Chain A
Amino acid sequence: MSSSALREALEALQIHGDVVAHGPVAVLVTAHPEQLAEPTARESALRAAAAHGFRTLAVELLGDAHNAHVPGA
């Protein structure tokens, strides 16, 4: 599982944000969660996460003071 490789794969899908690995969960940290509102984009992102060894992809809101986040971890 590589969060950086998944980040690049998501960028290619025009889905932008940092990816943080949390065990088998990939967390996409973004200020624009609506990027995944469209089913097609969501399915593509989930497929990309699976291709990189993650079991699922979750979206965390960027810009929240309480959301401790390590970019690129």
Chain B
Amino acid sequence: MTADHRIDERTLAKERALLDWLAARGSVLVGFSGGVDSTYLAACAMETLGADRVLGVIGRSASLSEAQLTTARDAAGQVGLPVLELDTEEMSDPRYASNPGNRCYFCKTELWTRLVPVARARGLAVVIDGTNASDGADYRPGAAAAREHGVESPLAVVGLTKDEIRELSRARRLRTWAQPSAPCLASRIPYGTAVTPERLRAVEQAEQALRALGIDGDLRVRHHGALARVELAPDELVAWLHGAALSRLTAAVRTAGFSRVALDARGFCSGGLNVLAGIGASAGSETVG
């Protein structure tokens, strides 16, 4: 790796343990999203095993935004990861579409049900994901699906935290190192409200419209029927709490079909809908699987 002398030795030791873990497996299929964690994991796998013994698989569905798909393809390209894109059908599962609190379990069940046979067919030893040591405190019903399908989480196994992964990603010059978390679009729809392609598209369009206004960083448009509730990072929030600015923001979100638009005074809250529902291990958690 491109070691950076400022990185703590304990962190570097964890990375060495990760590379050893990967080498011991011999070949891997990476559930790949192009996020911070799976991109770092893929980079380490590529370094350790090479392109012939690593495959990244992107699960495509209506809950994956076009922007995130593009990001995933770009990230794979940067680390030279061979990628297979597979369509997943979680929207056809009424247990998922009805949007219960453990929705992610059904999504991940669908994902791993499709990916595990791919690994077997290609002779890849193990299926791995980007779950890390910081995820333990979060509300992640999808983790149970991973366990049930034998999916392993080497970042968590060696104890790498989210901050450490960002640090190590930066040392590797991965573009994802400072990338905001990007959970699936369904995370914007309150539990109990059905996940439909139309609602997902409205959220995606609204967030694209806000990005087009120049809003960077963490951003969520929460779907409350006719009302869109916008969460912005605290440093962005203040700039939009003025009449003319809020009018522009409102007009942008409305292009996605919402008739009412409200800006959350609390600002961006990872796992905001978990908080509204009163579930989750902490207010900082986001149901991302």
Contact = CB atoms under 8 A, between A and B. Distances in A.
Interface of A: 22-25, 27-28, 31-34, 36-37, 42, 45-46, 55-61, 64, 66-69
Contacts of B250: 61, 64, 67
B227 A27 contact: yes
Contacts of A45: 265
Chain B binding site: helix, strand, loop or mixed by DSSP?
mixed
Interface residues of B, number: 27
Interface of B: 190, 224, 226-227, 229-230, 238, 241-243, 246-247, 250, 254, 259-266, 269, 272, 275-276, 278
B241 A22 contact: no
Contacts of B226: 68
A33 B266 contact: no
Contacts of B259: 66-68
A22 B276 CA distance: 11
Contacts of A61: 243, 246-247, 250, 261
Nearest to A49: B265
28 contacts: A22-B224, A22-B227, A22-B262, A23-B276, A24-B276, A25-B224, A27-B227, A33-B241, A33-B243, A33-B263, A34-B241, A34-B242, A34-B243, A37-B241, A45-B265, A46-B266, A56-B229, A56-B269, A56-B272, A57-B264, A58-B229, A59-B262, A59-B263, A59-B264, A59-B265, A60-B263, A61-B261, A66-B254
A57 B266 contact: yes
